[in-house]
Amino acid sequence: MSTAPAMSLKPRTYTGVLVVLGVAHLLNDLMQSLIPAIYPIIQRSYGLDFWQIGMITLTFQIAGSLLQPLVGFYTDRRPAPYSPVMGMMFTLSGLLGLAFATSYGAILFAVALIGIGSSIFHPEATRMARYAAGGRQGLAQGIFQVGGQAGGALGPVFAALIIVPLGQPSLTWFTAAALAAMLLLTWIGRQQATISRHFSELRASLAGQHADLPRHGTATIAIGLTVLTLLMFSKNAYAESFRSFYTFYLIERFGLSIPQSQMMLFIFLISAAAGALIGGIVGDRIGRYRIIWISVLGPLPLTLLLPYADLFWTGVLTIAINLVMASAFASILIYAMELLPNRIGLIGGLFYGLNFGLGGIAAAILGGLADSYGIETVYRICSFLPLAGLLAWFLPRLDADRYRPAG
């Protein structure tokens, strides 16, 4: 028998690589979170309406979504460990363009460059998180996601402390984040060969022990991906109502200043960061299926209360809603990877692309609704979006489906 080497091979979690990936994700999402963080500033400077604000989000999100599946598809066949560094160069260029933009068209072009940078960063970074996870996929995606969420949370804080008092050109200060991310991603690229080889050897050894494990059926994959996409849309539409319009809601409903509203946005985003980490860890224990149910449908009673709450309870509900809702993405992503385990780059690109694209479409729609019916009406409409969590009932149970022949 020649199975001894395979049997001695054990999953290894590369914690250092995961932490560095999380920090790189933090820096990437910090820079892109500056876009919605400066919306109140550029709205006043350029006299924009809510629909135009929504179109800025849509431009960024579409640029960040269209390339991601293509990048993931390509890197599944030809791994490109340094492609995230190239993506960061696009982000750096977009940030400089946004700092010195003097027209609405220039703003759209700059945010498109930042979106392209993000679309190149995510697929390969997601693959590295998968490879470095060992047997702890939930923890790995939780660390990766919490980095991104924490970076997104810091954007409004820096906007309030730096950009509001110093103006739009102060965005150039954040090019230091892009340069730091390039250094970290270069180091990660150097680790990829070793980690990928260990991952491939481990997968080959497991295939030898479980040679009878077939792929999931075609119907299972189609149903699973369709339901996950619909769940993503409902989750992202609600989240986008916060990212793009929460500051305007607080200013209009409670009379807050721009810095005060930015700090409230920070509370929303940092609670989402905590939720992402908790969701990844708990998902390893109770399963992705249950986490998806809880995270999408669970916040419904709270979202229904939010439009009628005073300022204090708005803060409390904001934390609770996003703590629960943000736990969904890691489980959705891992569930999709388990549907197509040989297409990690494609799945990472597709679902990060959906995360961007669906959010952008929602922002444009919500912006139009806000112009027509008012920003408070938008939050009353969005309060029903978690009802889409009922669609999770149609998700295939992968543990029961694992031994079904491929269709």
Q: Is residue 330 part of a domain?
A: yes
Chain segment 103-134, per-residue pLDDT in tens: 999 999 999 999 999 888 888 887 788 777 77
Model confidence pLDDT, tens digit, residues 204-225: 555 554 444 446 778 888 888 8
Query: Measuring CA to CA, how many Å separate 78 from each of 75, 122, 195, 342, 345?
Result: 5, 16, 16, 13, 10
Predicted local distance difference test score (pLDDT) of residue 30? 92
Kindly state whether residue 26 falls inside one of the protein's structural domains. Answer: yes
Distance CA 188, CA 16 (A): 10
Counting the structural domains of the chain, the total is: 1
Residue 406 buriedness (CB in 10 A; 0-12 / 13-18 / 19+): exposed
Note the pLDDT of residue 6. 42
Q: Is residue 206 part of a domain?
A: no
Query: What is d(CA 151, CA 331) in angstroms, rounded to the nearest whole number?
Result: 20
| Neighbouring residues of 325: CB distance < 8 A, sequence distance ≥ 6 | 235, 238, 239, 272, 275, 295, 296, 298, 299, 386
83: tokens are 């492609």
Q: Which residues contact 275 (CB under 8 A, 6 or more apart)?
A: 149, 295, 322, 323, 324, 325, 326, 327
What does the pLDDT read at residue 7? 45
Q: Is residue 270 part of a domain?
A: yes
pLDDT of residue 199: 63
In sequence order, the 6+-apart residues with CB closer than 8 A to the CB of 318 are 242, 264, 267, 268, 271, 306
* Residues in the chain, pLDDT under 50: 1-8, 209-214, 400-407
Cα–Cα distance for residue pair 341/200, rounded to 1 Å: 12
Assigned domain for 76 exists: yes
Distances (CA, A) of 35 to 27, 94, 123, 286: 14, 11, 22, 36
Structural domain including 149 reads: 12-195+217-401
Phi-psi region of 101 (alpha: psi -120 to 50; beta: other; left: phi over 0): beta
The two tokens of residue 5 are 């080497």
- Whether 1 maps to a domain, the answer reads no
- What is the per-residue pLDDT for 405? 35
Domain assignment of residue 137, yes or no: yes
| Residue 200 covered by a domain | no
pLDDT tens figures, 165-187: 888 899 999 999 999 999 999 99
Residue recorded with tokens 């736990």? 327
What's the one-letter identity of residue 184?
L
Read off the CATH number of the domain in which 367 is found.
1.20.1250.20
CA angle 56, 60, 65 (to 5 degrees): 145
pLDDT digits (tens, 9 = 90+) for 317-342: 999 998 888 877 778 877 887 888 77
